[in-house]
Amino acid sequence: MTTVAVARRSPLNRAARIVAFAVIAIVLYDIVLFVALQQSWLTGSKALTGDHAFGVAIQQTINALSIGAIYALIALGYTMVYGIIELINFAHGDVFMVGAFLSILVTAGIFGQIPGADITNIPFLILVLTVALLLVMPATGLLNLTIERIFYRPFRGGSRLAPLITAVGVSFILQNVALVVVGSGDRAAPQVFPLNWQIPIGDAKISVLSIFIFVLAVGLMLALNTFVNRTRLGRAMRATAQDQQAASLMGVDLNQTIALTFLLGGALAGAAGVVWGLRFGFVRQDLGFNAGLKAFTSAVLGGIGNINGAALGGFFIGFTENLASALGYSRWSEFLVFLILTFVLIFRPTGILGQQLGDRA
Amino acid sequence: MTAMAAEPMLVVENVHTYYGQIHALQGVTLHVAKGEVVTLIGANGAGKTTTLKTISGLLHARAGHVKFEGEDITKVAPHVLVERGIGHAPEGRRIFSRLTVLENLQMGAFSRPKANIAPDIERVFALFPRLKERERQLGGTLSGGEQQMLAIGRALMSEPRMLLLDEPSLGLAPILVAQVFETIKEINSQGTTVLLVEQNALQALSIAHRGYVLQTGEVVLSGSADSLRQNETVRKAYLGED
């Protein structure tokens, strides 16, 4: 009897490979940027000299990581929902926007913070950020869950087009409600995290906020990963994503599992909303459209339905945008992002980490 | 025929089930008593799978009743019926191909969150030693026979009092077919009532107590396994004799 052992790689081994991949990718990006910044044919008159380019490259890499982390957090919600009910939840970006506004409500409303001032008292800063995350994440999670309950569930088992169009409608509803409540244009968000906290490396200054955003996002992603891969409910989610009927025959309550997926996705979008305000200092009612589009692109790029793919895609887009703007082509950044998306979809329609289709026996 | 004390464990009463406009079950009536192995035989499209799906709640009857252990379950959702003791190993195995063998079995016990499932997993591994060798492999990498074993083992993990098996021998090599039928007998002797849908009528009737013959959504014949095996029509239509 042949025993072809196709044993699964041990989780530790897998984690080590992911970390190694990430470190190599980051260093590689840093080197590319370092070289590119010195090319006068690329950057025009703004070409930098060696030392200076080295610092700016590191600074920009950290920036790329933090914006990538935000896209990744939002992208996870797109990919999880698609994975489980094959719906592109167009309202997801707007849930993120709501999260960003709710975060202002917490920092300004509860803690009386005003735009332009920051909190240098570290314990107080930790308190404010913790409370903001602990209030905003459940709130956006519940919002997303409610959207599913009211707008998507009635269509379950029917045509796939109807909930898709409804999702576009929900997106408009959220944007317009926000327009009525907060008005149009930029609304200043209190940047409670001090922007002048910087770590000097050479003549570059690395933003501590960017590091915080990156670490927070990675922490949430690890928590999500552990939940999905190591818990009973996470296993039920994966089973439901693969075969709803079979999962229900195991005793899985589909409504509950799908609701849980929306709850988690919404909570992650809420976390992204909180850090968005900290980093950019403004929020607007149509924020969800643009950020949502980038995050959705991240999910597709990484392989929609795949959680690791969404994270990878988010960082990939963060780096792509950063590369364009660091070299002085920020107006071309979206062109570049969608150009890459197009080519990935032409040559690898399932996305970078996408599953092969047709795995149902 | 087994003596019936009170009401049989499962009663399907004049059930009509539709797929949209298609009238798939046109008044199916059957029953299964506790401890029995009952088989449904019939050609493709006769309604065997639809009958099982109507019992386990994947489909709901538009008319008629399904009763399990005295309670009406006609409109009850599948995840609730698992908790009530109905296990369904569906057509086409439907194992989770991106979950490991062990995770598939753990999913099988999803309806028993507080139970210690280690002995149950050992029981499945005792029935199917091949699965133990492949414990950490993804379900999708198993051979057809192994997937079938996994599907049956997974259905057993919910500790069903009644097990619905849909074509467990489909696509298996003859030696595995014999093994699967042996296992079904074994499962039954351990106290699980079995309702078995099979194309392989001869094998099914050899282990069943009773059987029903379905044709275009109706029961056209029923009786003890022996009497069905002797029946002229059954022999011609389903046992491959001229």
CATH code at B146? Answer: 3.40.50.300
- Name beta bridge partners: B215: B218
Predicted pLDDT at A41? 82
- Name beta bridge partners: B28: B15
Predicted pLDDT at A152? 95
Q: Which of B82, B83, B106 is nearest residue A235 as measured by Cβ atoms? A: B106
Q: Half-sphere exposure of A186 toward its Cβ, with a 13 Å CA cutoff?
A: 8
Q: Could you state, in order of their start, the residue ranges of all structural domains in chain A?
A: 13-347
Cα(A3)–Cα(A13) distance, rounded to whole angstroms?
23
Q: Are B41 and B49 in contact (CB under 8 A)?
A: no
Contacts of A8 in chain B (CB under 8 A): 100, 136-138
Q: Are A20 and A13 in contact (CB under 8 A)?
A: no
Q: What is the mean pLDDT of residues A4-25?
A: 74
C-alpha distance from A247 to closest chain B C-alpha (Å):
8
**pLDDT above 60 for A2:** no
**pLDDT above 50 for B13:** yes
**pLDDT above 80 for A354:** no
Tens of pLDDT, residue by residue over A107-150, are 999 888 888 888 889 999 999 999 999 999 999 999 999 999 99
Q: Are A147 and A95 in contact (CB under 8 A)?
A: yes
Q: What is the mean pLDDT of residues B216-229?
A: 93
Q: Residue B169's closest CA among B192, B194, B197, B141?
A: B197
pLDDT-derived band at A358 (thresholds 50, 70, 90) equals very low
**pLDDT above 80 for A43:** no
B3 occurs within a structural domain: no
Query: Going by C-beta distance under 8 Å and a sequence separation of 6 or more, which residues neighbour residue A200?
Result: A206
Tens of pLDDT, residue by residue over B151-199, are 999 999 999 999 999 999 887 888 888 888 999 999 999 999 999 999 8
Q: What is the mean pLDDT of residues A29-44?
A: 86
B4 occurs within a structural domain: no
Q: Chain-wide mean pLDDT for chain B?
A: 91
Contacts of A5 in chain B (CB under 8 A): 137
C-alpha distance from A257 to closest chain B C-alpha (Å):
12
Q: Chain-wide mean pLDDT for chain A?
A: 90
Cα(B76)–Cα(B54) distance, rounded to whole angstroms?
10
Q: Which of B57, B82, B99 is nearest residue A238 as measured by Cβ atoms? A: B99
Is some CB atom of chain A closer than 8 A to the CB atom of B83? yes
C-alpha distance from A359 to closest chain B C-alpha (Å):
7
Segment among A4-18, A104-118, A321-335, A340-354 with least mean pLDDT: A4-18
pLDDT-derived band at A359 (thresholds 50, 70, 90) equals very low
Two tokens, residue B60: 């709901």
Is some CB atom of chain B closer than 8 A to the CB atom of A205? no
Backbone phi, psi, residue A52, to 5°: -65, -45
Is some CB atom of chain A closer than 8 A to the CB atom of B210? no
Is some CB atom of chain B closer than 8 A to the CB atom of A361? yes
Cα–chain center distance at A29: 20
Cα(A295)–Cα(A302) distance, rounded to whole angstroms?
11
Taking CB atoms and an 8 Å limit, are B94 and A7 in contact across chains? no
pLDDT-derived band at A345 (thresholds 50, 70, 90) equals confident
Closest residue on chain B to A1 (Cα): B130
Taking CB atoms and an 8 Å limit, are B147 and A361 in contact across chains? yes
Q: Which residue has the tokens 């087009």?
A: A161
**pLDDT above 90 for B76:** yes
Predicted pLDDT at A355? 65
Give percent of chain A with pLDDT exceeding 90.
68
Taking CB atoms and an 8 Å limit, are A253 and B154 in contact across chains? no
What predicted TM-score, i.e. pTM, was given to this entire model? 0.90
Is some CB atom of chain B closer than 8 A to the CB atom of A161? no
Type of residue at A79: T
Give the number of other CB atoms < 10 A from CB of residue B194. 23
**pLDDT above 70 for A10:** no
Predicted pLDDT at A11? 67
Q: How far is CA A132 from CA A137, A190, A272, A277, B72, in A?
A: 8, 12, 12, 11, 49
Closest residue on chain A to B55 (Cα): A249
Is some CB atom of chain B closer than 8 A to the CB atom of A6? yes
Predicted pLDDT at A146? 98
Q: Which residue has the tokens 């009532």?
A: B193
Contacts of B100 in chain A (CB under 8 A): 8
Backbone phi, psi, residue B12, to 5°: -110, 120
Q: What is the mean pLDDT of residues B230-234?
A: 86
Predicted pLDDT at A143? 98
Is some CB atom of chain B closer than 8 A to the CB atom of A248? yes
C-alpha distance from A84 to closest chain B C-alpha (Å):
14
C-alpha distance from A245 to closest chain B C-alpha (Å):
7
Predicted pLDDT at A55? 85
pLDDT-derived band at B218 (thresholds 50, 70, 90) equals very high
Give percent of chain B with pLDDT exceeding 70.
96
Contacts of B88 in chain A (CB under 8 A): 249
CATH 1.10.3470 fits A13-347, yes or no: yes
Give the number of other CB atoms < 10 A from CB of residue A6. 10
Taking CB atoms and an 8 Å limit, are B77 and A232 in contact across chains? no
Taking CB atoms and an 8 Å limit, are A7 and B106 in contact across chains? no
Under 8 Å CB pairs connecting chains A and B tally to 91
Q: What is the mean pLDDT of residues B196-212?
A: 92
Which structural domain range is residue B55 located in?
A: 10-237
Contacts of B87 in chain A (CB under 8 A): 249
Q: What is the mean pLDDT of residues B35-41?
A: 95
Taking CB atoms and an 8 Å limit, are A236 and B110 in contact across chains? yes
**pLDDT above 60 for A8:** no
Cα(A152)–Cα(A89) distance, rounded to whole angstroms?
9
C-alpha distance from B58 to closest chain A C-alpha (Å):
7
Q: What is the mean pLDDT of residues B80-101?
A: 94
Closest residue on chain A to B135 (Cα): A7
Closest residue on chain B to A7 (Cα): B137
C-alpha distance from B77 to closest chain A C-alpha (Å):
8
Predicted pLDDT at B1? 46
pLDDT-derived band at A9 (thresholds 50, 70, 90) equals low
pLDDT-derived band at B50 (thresholds 50, 70, 90) equals very high
For chain A, the three-class secondary structure string (H helix, E strand, C coil) is: CCCCCCCCCCHHHHHHHHHHHHHHHHHHHHHHHHHHHCCHHHHHHHCCCHHHHHHHHHHHHHHHHHHHHHHHHHHHHHHHHHHHHCCCCCCHHHHHHHHHHHHHHHHHHHCCCCCCCCCCCHHHHHHHHHHHHHHHHHHHHHHHHHHHHHHHHHHCCCCCHHHHHHHHHHHHHHHHHHHHHHCCCCEECCCCCCCCCEEEECCEEEEHHHHHHHHHHHHHHHHHHHHHHHCHHHHHHHHHHHCHHHHHHCCCCHHHHHHHHHHHHHHHHHHHHHHHHHHHCEECCCHHHHHHHHHHHHHHHHCCCCHHHHHHHHHHHHHHHHHHHHCCCHHHHHHHHHHHHHHHHHHCCCCCCCCCCCCCC
Q: What is the mean pLDDT of residues A15-41?
A: 89
In total, how many domains does chain B have? 1
Q: Whats the size of chain B, residue-wise?
A: 242
Tens of pLDDT, residue by residue over A177-219, are 999 999 998 999 999 999 999 998 877 888 999 999 999 999 9
Q: Which of B56, B90, B96 is nearest residue A239 as measured by Cβ atoms? A: B96
User: CB pairs under 8 A, 24+ apart, for A203-208?
Assistant: A203/A51, A203/A52, A203/A55, A204/A54, A204/A55, A204/A56, A204/A57, A204/A58, A204/A59, A205/A59, A206/A58, A206/A59, A206/A62, A207/A59, A207/A62, A207/A63, A207/A66
Q: What is the mean pLDDT of residues B216-233?
A: 92
C-alpha distance from A100 to closest chain B C-alpha (Å):
36
pLDDT-derived band at B241 (thresholds 50, 70, 90) equals low
C-alpha distance from B33 to closest chain A C-alpha (Å):
22
Taking CB atoms and an 8 Å limit, are A251 and B138 in contact across chains? no
Tens of pLDDT, residue by residue over A284-312, are 999 999 899 999 999 999 999 899 999 99
Is some CB atom of chain A closer than 8 A to the CB atom of B226? no
The complex scores an ipTM of 0.91
Contacts of B158 in chain A (CB under 8 A): 250-251
Closest residue on chain A to B93 (Cα): A361
